A and B are shown apart, each in its own frame.
Chain A
């Protein structure tokens, strides 16, 4: 248990001053601007927005700067900021089918309507460090080609037309959408709450959980049916205005996993699915999320449940890196009182142990031990 302590104000103040200097680093080196972080460390900004659960590039860039590049600290800062603002309401659900795609790949079909679009990707790069980036690199202008106006339907919608894949669960009439920022998470949790939890969950944790399913701990035989990244429009029904107000657009990544099929005496076999959605270009995150989402459906789909990734309480209780870091890092704070009582107990036990041993072994043994 952590017990409040007093004192140390001066040292704390000086430590923060020292931190401000360490954050700035060598002052003969140019200071990094928020625009630079947002433009040139864009994927770090995307991660902080996703796991900070707040879409605001500028705030995420500020948090990254303030946190000296420690992304979990930055996520913590964004979550804390979020708590200071009133909530106007909830948006209309975004339509990822109408996304202006900047990237869209499918590992299940090579010919998909609208085509496979690589977009800005690390895929197929050689992962060799590029020294020219350290010396004022100016990239060649992007190549252009005639843009198609053909729609880019979701691959799962195409599979769905033939009944080859399960349909997405519909909302029950009048059902409210669960919100774990308003009510604490209870188990079993519905899919809406699970997805909200995973969407803000730690990428590293989800990556490890997803990976574990591939390695056999809750295998569900996934294919990346589709991964798409791009811009979607956001609309908000503002009561004072009286209609759905366009708010602008956000960038999202969506992953549709297509998984092992399932059927029953009454239903023809069809592929099952797992879903991932996150702010910005967050491909690893959404793929991991989709794997874990599918693993967490094991019970619903009548599969044997035993692997960690299938354990809802385990996954959802440990996915949040702000909660996790809070509990792990609180061990640094003074625990003097707690530790003193443990120390007292340990001394007592050792004394008892010494006395019992002395009685059992007699004075000779006692003498020997003393030597």
Chain B
């Protein structure tokens, strides 16, 4: 895997966690880091993304309906540009994701933001998902067919 692809995978993995966190949770984690200088490249903006499904689940795509999405972009003083996209209309969350995305790409902060922000949030997400999965699993059912008698 090239270095570019590795970094892209890291950024996607971080975004996949951050999109599931609340703005307040991300902000609280970021406060544990002494942040480098940065500026907003694009102020948070709300818009829509058309969500697509597939015919039969696996066929040709179709438009299912839209979702609200907020986005922002942040640039670190050292030049890294981060993007934040998230479902919903929380512009502050989009800004924080963009800041994290920029930090993930930074040589000086990449490891730190993964350790102190992304990893703990990922762990929280996994705990929530595990809890939900266990509650769901308790409703798993074994239907059995009654053999029909003759006459």
Contacts and interface: CB of A to CB of B under 8 A. Distances in A.
Given A191-B55, A246-B16, A148 B69 contact: no
B12 A55 contact: no
B62 A192 contact: yes
A177 to B, nearest CB: 5
B110 interface: no
Contacts of B136: 101-103, 117, 119, 147
Contacts of A87: 47-50, 66
A147 B58 CA distance: 26
Contact of A154 (B16, B57, B65, B67): B57
B15 A246 contact: yes
A277 interface: yes
Contacts of A118: 139-141
Contacts of B52: 90-94, 177
A256 to B, nearest CB: 7
Nearest to B68: A56
Interface stretch (A165-173, A261-269, A304-312): A165-173
Nearest to B42: A240
Nearest to B134: A144
Contact of B57 (A86, A115, A172, A275): A275
A274 to B, nearest CB: 9
B135 interface: yes
B138 A143 contact: yes
A88 interface: yes
Nearest to B11: A243
A234 B51 contact: yes
Contacts of A169: 55-56, 59-60
Given A154-B57, A234-B87, A191 B62 contact: yes
A101 B48 CA distance: 26
Contacts of A236: 49, 69, 85
Contacts of B137: 117, 144-148
Contact of A247 (B45, B57, B69): B69
B54 interface: yes
Contacts of A53: 65-66
B87 A88 contact: no
Interface in B38-90: 45-69, 71, 73, 83, 85-89
Interface string A23-52: 000000000000000000000000001100
Contact of B63 (A97, A168, A172, A192): A192
Interface string A44-84: 00000110011110110000000000000000000000100
Interface stretch (A9-17, A129-137, A194-202): A194-202
A285 to B, nearest CB: 12
Report, nearest first, the 5 A-B pairs whose CB atoms are least far apart. A168-B59, A168-B56, A147-B133, A55-B67, A171-B60
Given A115-B140, A191-B62, A196-B63, 5 more contacts: A55-B66, A85-B46, A143-B139, A178-B62, A178-B63
